[in-house]
Structure 1
Amino acid sequence: MHQELAARKHDVVTVSRTGGDLQYDITDPAQVAEMFQTVGQVDAVASAAGHVPYKPVAELTADDYQAAFTGKVLSQVMLVKEGLTHVTGSFTLITGVLAREPIVTGAAASLANGAVEAFVKAAAIEIAPQRINAISPTVFTESLDVYGDFFPGMKPVPLADVVQAYVRSIEGRQTGQIYVP
């Protein structure tokens, strides 16, 4: 995504826990606030972060569900909340196919993805003129060797198609959309 956006004349600042231009943990709301103070005004935020546990429902604990919520939902919600005074254009969050097509061991992921999608639709009607959308891919073609068995019968999506969905969200005018590449 970074290379495509840079090629389209965007100045890109990458953030992750351990790499990128800046190191922040978006599961920590204080670090999200600090990140925006460091970066200042930006046109857009694009999130591709989110971690959830995969276990059978009978084995999922309250801590597992909390980890899914914190790792994928709350982290992205706080990106939006803290970014409202720093982002002039759009927020693009990541969700996934499990919001609408559950798999065995994916209950926590389905819960988190569905929550992100509901938040995007709700936030869109409140944050105008800023925009918010989400990208909801299936399994990436490039990761089929590792994750393909978890997504039987689902058509994989090339990473390049996912990147184009981010471009559409960032450069387009729509809001409250869930893009399915």
Structure 2
Amino acid sequence: MKILVIGGNGTIGKKVSNYLMTKHEVIIGGRLSGDVKIDISKSESIENCFSQIGKLDAIVCIAGEAKWDAFKNLTEEDYYIGLKSKLMGQVNVVRIGSKYLNPKGSITLSTGILADYPVEKTTSAAMVNGAIHSFVKAVDLEIENEIRINVVSLGVVQDAYEKYKDYFPGHNPIPTDKVINSYIKSIEGKNRGQIIRYYD
């Protein structure tokens, strides 16, 4: 398969990309580095990226940001960071990218445990993650050309555990094999409209 991995040089993206490269043709997309440049917060950047690459068999998005801060500190503009980047960024990857997918292709988005189990300072991030889950279930009913769409929702991954462990007391870090397998389930499996959760 010919697969675009957006965010393929990130903490999770690099592990997923390295595995996929053993079996498939992988194109790395990133805001700052990669085979192609893509900023998912800008529709024109998404369109330019896909027009450069042409037809694909799968799209994987492991990108997007949201503001972490106490609810009392969050401004309207702070919420727009997550809405424009992680939420609408991934929505636009589906909206634009689906036109470049071969029939029966797949799209895999990314969220996280906050959609189901939020912690302090994650009001914005949790809201965005939950919205993506609802979007995936709804768009699966209408997306054309037998395209499959799923979202991977992970707990705190092993490589980022030290950075985030104070936010997630008592949570078990997600090992690399579970991280990779969650994306493989979406890309190479038959799932569609699913939230693929690995929280423990």
Which stretches of structure 1, 4 residues or longer, exceed 4 Å deviation after superposition? none
Aligned equivalents of 1:104 and 1:83: distance in 2? 34
Taking the TM superposition and a 5 Å limit, the aligned residue runs for 1:5-44 are 5-7=20-22, 9-44=23-58
Which residue number in structure 1 is paired with residue 85 of structure 2? 71
Q: Alpha-carbon deviation of 1:61?
A: 0.6
1:159 to 170, 176, 188: 176
Q: Secondary structure at the match of 1:157?
A: coil
Which residue number in structure 2 is paired with residue 96 of structure 1? 112
Q: Secondary structure at the match of 1:71?
A: helix
Q: Secondary structure at the match of 2:125?
A: helix
Taking the TM superposition and a 5 Å limit, the aligned residue runs for 1:53-64 are 53-64=67-78
Q: Alpha-carbon deviation of 1:153?
A: 2.0
Return the structure number with greater strand share.
2
Q: Alpha-carbon deviation of 1:158?
A: 1.4
Q: Alpha-carbon deviation of 1:169?
A: 0.3
Q: Alpha-carbon deviation of 1:159?
A: 2.9
1:4 to 6, 19, 22: 19
Identical pairs, percent: 36
Instruction: Give yes or no for the alignment of 1:173 onto 2:200.
Output: no
Query: Structure 1: any 5+ residue segments left out of the alignment?
Result: none
1:121 to 122, 137, 140: 137
Aligned equivalents of 2:176 and 2:79: distance in 1? 28
TM-score normalised according to structure 1 size: 0.96
Q: Secondary structure at the match of 2:172?
A: coil
The AA in structure 1 aligned to 2:123 is A
Query: Structure 2: any 5+ residue segments left out of the alignment?
Result: 1-15
RMSD: 0.9
Aligned equivalents of 2:194 and 2:65: distance in 1? 22
